[in-house]
Structure 1
Amino acid sequence: MAAFPTGVAVVTTFGLGAEPWGMTVSSLSSVSVDPPTLLVCLRDSSPTLDALVWNGSFTVNLLHHEARPAAELFSSGDPERFRQVVWERPLDVGGPHLVDDAHAAADCVVDHMHRIGTHVVVFGKVQRVVHRSGLQPLLYGMRTYASWPRSA
């Protein structure tokens, strides 16, 4: 799938002790407009997935083209990742919003999950969308990051 360019997002949630968890994903899709539903695919051995299952809600932070460092940080497994970015807690459901790195964030509640192979497909009903900036989205394909062309 490296030949298929896609947007980059960081899925975030809170764990049992209210600690933040998150990971970079490129497997993200809009499933339905009514009700608004997204799906994300998370590695089945991920502590972020464990926290998401416990919490029952998560946030999809859509990264903008200047947020490559955040994409790399949240794919690194660095246990101090939330100390290296600016984030805020959502109103009621969801996970941390990456204030400086996301051009939009969608707070979701888990609708259902399906395990397949090494991953779990998580379906989330969107409760709220926050738009943060008009910056272009961050893209990933051919094993490299890019931004949306200005001419598009």
Structure 2
Amino acid sequence: MTVLRGDATTMTAGDPASLPGRFRGFMAGFPSGVAIVTTTDRRGKQWGMTCSAVCSASVDPPTLIVGIRAASPTLQALLDSGRFAVNLLHERARETAELFASADPDRFDLVAWEHDSGYGGPHLYEAAHSVADCRVSQSVLVGPQRMVFGEPFRISTLAETRPLLYGLRRYGRWSAHG
């Protein structure tokens, strides 16, 4: 059912075919920061993907939620290893965000990163302003997405800069004028 009020359109659950598209548009109007979730599988191969579905679940204990497509190979590596890193991107990292949103299998060959055994996943030190290394505490399947709960065990600040934003289906910068 669609109800018009002035120039507003209201969709209800009675019209399920168009509700997912309307919901996607609704969420596009809610800008968020941009992150790249990284992990390393048991063979030592790096995996990563751009993600704007990141939020805090709790401050005590510190817990993040990361939404990842259930069919993602990054998700499988992350769940197998039980660890991951959330690289929060700075405003000059749009190209890196686009690279990790692509299907390019050589993405880690094209960016600066480092990894050691104490990390949850590779740190993208030139593209990220902060990194949270996390242990998987649980995950929940919601439709075609898996919500992964991660408890940070290390947080690193790499640069004092403004975050890269994503909303209305495009990248943007934090305005200096507020």
Return the TM-score normalized by structure 1. 0.97
Quick one: higher RCO (CA 8 Å, sep 6+), 1 or 2? 1
- Which blocks of at least 5 consecutive residues in structure 2 are unaligned? 1-26
1:46 aligns with 2:72: yes
Q: Which of 10, 21, 28 in structure 1 is aligned with 2:47?
A: 21
Which position in structure 1 is the counterpart of 2:123? 97
The list of structure 1 runs, each at least 4 consecutive aligned residues, that deviate by more than 4 angstroms after superposition, is none
AA aligned to 1:32 is S
Q: What is the Cα deviation at residue 15 of structure 1?
A: 1.0
Q: What is the Cα deviation at residue 3 of structure 1?
A: 1.1
Higher-Rg structure is 2
Which position in structure 2 is the counterpart of 1:136? 162
1:103 and 1:134 in contact (8 A); partners too: yes
Matches within 5 A, 1:1-150: 1-150=27-176
3-state SS of 1:50 partner: helix
Deviations 1:69-107 (A, max 9, x none): 010000002100000000001452400000100000000
Cα distance in structure 2, aligned partners of 1:49 and 1:120 = 8
Cα distance in structure 2, aligned partners of 1:112 and 1:119 = 14
Cα distance in structure 2, aligned partners of 1:89 and 1:151 = 37
Cα distance in structure 1, aligned partners of 2:49 and 2:103 = 8
1:90 and 1:97 in contact (8 A); partners too: no
Structure with more of its chain in strand, by fraction: 1
Q: Percent identity?
A: 50
Cα distance in structure 2, aligned partners of 1:37 and 1:93 = 17
Cα distance in structure 2, aligned partners of 1:90 and 1:145 = 31
Return the TM-score normalized by structure 2. 0.83
Deviations 1:21-56 (A, max 9, x none): 000000000111111110000000000001001100
- Which blocks of at least 5 consecutive residues in structure 1 are unaligned? none
Root mean square deviation, CA, Å: 0.9
AA aligned to 2:173 is S
Count of paired positions: 152
